[in-house]
Chain A
Amino acid sequence: MLIDTYINLSYLVGAVAFVWGLRLLSSPDTARKGNILAGIGMGIAIVATLVAPLTGADNNYLWIFGGFVIGGFAGWIAAKKIQMTAMPQMVSVFNGLGGACATVLAMAELIKYYDGMMQMSLGQLSIVLVTLLIGAVSFTGSMLAFGKLDGFIKDKHVILPGHTIVNLVLLIAVLVLAVILIVQGQTAGIVMAVIFLVLALIYGFSFVAPIGGADMPVVISLLNSFTGLSAAAAGLIYGNQIMLVGGILVGAAGTILTVLMCEAMNRSLMNVIIGGFGSAGASSSATDGDQVAKVATITDASIQMFYANSVMFVPGYGLAVAQAQKVLKELDDLLENNGVDVKYAIHPVAGRMPGHMNVLLAEADVPYPKLLDLDDANAALKDTDTVVIVGANDVVNPAALDDPGSPIYGMPVLEVWNAKNVIVLKRSMSPGYAGIQNPLFFHDKNRMLFGDAKDSIQQLVQEVKDM
């Protein structure tokens, strides 16, 4: 009996460590401590679960430790080797595995149930099915998000005609089947449960399929929240408090980020889920066909930066793709040494996950105070001489303010055209990921500097050095 008390006490300590850890994690000075604290909480919870007395259990510790070694090793290697630029992919994969774990647990319960090895009340059965559903959606959704972020799956490969209707039909089918399973109880049989699983997996894939590009930060946050909820639901299956607390906290964190990302784009979650940018009307504002964008040479661009009083870089997903963050910092240092005031404008949805640009620039050692958020950047842009856009597109699109026909109309953007000069580093004139034409490219103040961002910046570094 005493040992039970210790176990429960350990779970309590673990749960408090989760809450406190996440609290510390949301403030810059204490974030690292918070992560470690949450990790300690997890360690305590795992050890407590290992030693908790279970009457009549065979323990099978060998299997568990085998799983620890394999999973721990794989996770550790992946986390150590991954490039910072590939962070969104990594987060998606880890997230998907959490969902998969919950799905596996729910499936194991269902197998026992339909074998007649155990009984469940209607409530318990419902919770198992909810765990399975959310976990499965989170799993396949995250895997597809990973594929899209890594670039080996293109949106056009996975979007069906009338995809919204397909998704709706799938969702209804999943829910109807869930009701049937609950009503029929044990007589439904394992085959029905497997069909439910397969449908849930397909739905997860199909649900993420039409969401792409600039909407990725929203969907990643949302999937993160799903995984948390599936863990919490699994906690209800086992009547385990720390699983419930941990899962709900993750669900809350994911939901908060989802809301923040939606706000940053001034769109509702429904709007993001239903209408991907790409399908919303890519051609509606392609009215700049006859206009010609003016081109800058490396020399022009470097002169504009070197003799400026202030330069503002606007990084976007292209910076991550070109892995240009370190060479950008080099350019920043050179300019600073010549008395140029250098700042960075960070749009909340720049990149493919919440805070993506902050991570990249931190890797390149750019000091935090040089990063301006949307409002500060827009205020500072009026007094900025030269803006250099590195791989960003939709977040600097003036159509968001003045073209009601544009799919991104209403989204707050960085008003870079208020600066004296703009230089856009871009590989070609093709519209961005979202498929929306950007009138900024044809703006009087703008010059295009074509080429791979990393190459271009390297050449700029060389030019500035020679000045």
Chain B
Amino acid sequence: MRELRIHITLLTCWSIVAFGQSRQGTIAGTVKDAETRQPVVGANVTLRGSFIGAATDAKGTFRLARIPVGSHAVIVSMLGYQRETVEGVTVVPDEVRTLDISVRPVPLQSEPVIITASRREQSLQEVPVSVATVTARMIAERNNITLDDALRYVPGVNMLADQVNIRGSSGYSRGIGSRVLVLLDGLPYITGDTGEINWETIPMFEVDRLEVVKGAGSALYGSSALGGVINVITRETPSTPELRFRAFSGLYDKPRYLEWDWSSKPRFNSGVVVSYSGRSNSLSYRVSVGRTVDESFRENDTYHRWNFFTKLKYDISSTQSLTIAGNYLDRTHGNYFWWKSLTEATRPAESQVNGLVTSRRGNVSLAYKEFLSDKFFYTLKGIYFGNFWRDDSAGRVNNVSASHLFNIDFQATYDINRYNVLTFGVAMNYDRVSANLFGTHPGAGAAAYAQDEIAVTSGLKVTAGLRFDWQKVSVLKSTAQVNPKLGLVYIPDKETSLRASFGSGFRYPAIGELYIESSTNVSSIVVLPNPDLKVETSFSYEVGVNRSFGQMMSIDLALFSNDFGNLIEPSVRIKSYRPYPSSPVEVTGPVIQFDNVTKARIQGLETVIRVEWWKRFFSTDVGYTYTWPRDLADNTVLKFRPRHIVYTAGTFSWDQFRVLADFRYLSRIERIDENLVRLAPIVHGEQRVAIKLVDIHTSYDLIGLGLPIRAGFNINNLLNYSYVELLGNLGPVRTYFLTLEGMF
């Protein structure tokens, strides 16, 4: 209690002290590759013992302004380079201390910085759960146009069309209700109406990295984090002006079989994104515009997209900053749900031939960050996410939906002492949906969370956290959830890390699941609302080990078990209902209704092995995930889960030339939803095979010729393998891409 009082007193004093500091200086300089002497772009430069930091720009320069006078240590970290610490950097008032820092490349990078697992920066070794990262470089090399494309290469993750599965968590719920939470810069990014992820609104060109946390994460992030959390972290605004662009043009090859060759014209998938960043005193900004047109290899499946993104950062002082970001997508696409039949696998079913979906989606976010001391900082974030869409068929509007979602999150991180780091906060949300399918409904929620990371010994760290959530939707009775987490990391030596964790998750039913009502849906069966739906729950357990063998090899092995309860799925039943609200009589017949139908257990193992065969020359990555997904209600295999997932990548680098080859294998899905096939109906919808895909990505950096441009040539689905991810949806045929990316 006495200690608590001291902390509160110190907190109050720190803010006064922070504002009172006037004796400040600046540290600036460049970061270069020790071997090539080329500037290192995007390196993190931080001041030890504080949260003050910056990233190097296109010229490898950085600037840390308003640093308190005295002696400091500057830390430089970057994926692929050895962490470098410059001790004894003396800062004097109103002067710029210049540093020229060289960083040594390391072939094996095992310590990327992760922020999602504990809501603060940690090295990967310190994280008690399995986490995968996807960097901007990987996204560019693979020419991933949307976020879901990038996730298709992450071990343990697979996509069922637009629904993401982490270690088999999600299955397929017909597009409604995601069991994986996506965050945009730490804030929930799930649509308000159907509770799904809209991948295309993520500004991929502005992504710095993706972090994929595997396992339940509701103890920190609340609803929807049953199976995992994906955090999309956008680039920081740079300290110097830069103009960047990426252009690509793709050509779909002919389908393997003549029966599927429906178009006499070549089909293209092309786009361009231009981004400009600048700085004026304390204000830095980034603006980007993107245009993509995908003619698709399938009929009535074209996509036309405009993307706008802007980010402004105002450094109020050395301890305060305000960031405002905005993102907007305008999209029109063909309403392709499933094929006509396997005989005409590139044509849509008759009912979808003239269908068109137009959508406008956008968000505005605001983040205020303040360091009250070098041990304590807080952030106040808010986001508005608006979604408007409608679908037309032959000029007739079928469905219209508008949803508005507001999220506010206050988080504080307090580095109490060398043994304890406390993270705590509160969050609130409000959403409102208005749609002919779902009706008009408001929803609101509030939460409070706290987590303590305790360094028990120098090698043993325990993390314990708890979150309380309260939610009310429309006129329904409010519900509350309490979700704990416990993590343990033991690092016996520099090359070994052992971890164990437990976490729980939950998901409130989406408004779409509670209130959907239609007598004219695509399957012609009446869909009824079910306001009695209960909250889905999950419990995740994991033990794992990460071991490096010098600079040659690293292995990560995890055993996991996830229990799910009250899983919501659409089911068909015979029921008496009123065909329309004022109907005097009830009729009896088959209806579709979302219901809490099952409980499940998914157990398995995952291993990720990286080998550097030749220093910075040739490396391989292999990820293998085995899952044993069981429906405990009827003791059968869970629907829509592949049992084996293998992702391999080989990278060859020579001078400015680079080749990346990917092979992905997903075993045949053992069980599907037969009723979906029958009632839709999807002709040949049961047809599916194992997925075996080979992609080749080559790039050449023209920097050696004095041009800051990288040219690339990619072939996706090299073997032109024919497969479905989801029932009746043929996967993309072989596609050739030319890409150009530059930065000035």
Chain A bound to chain B: no
Listed in ascending order, the chain A residues whose CB lies under 8 Å from chain B are none
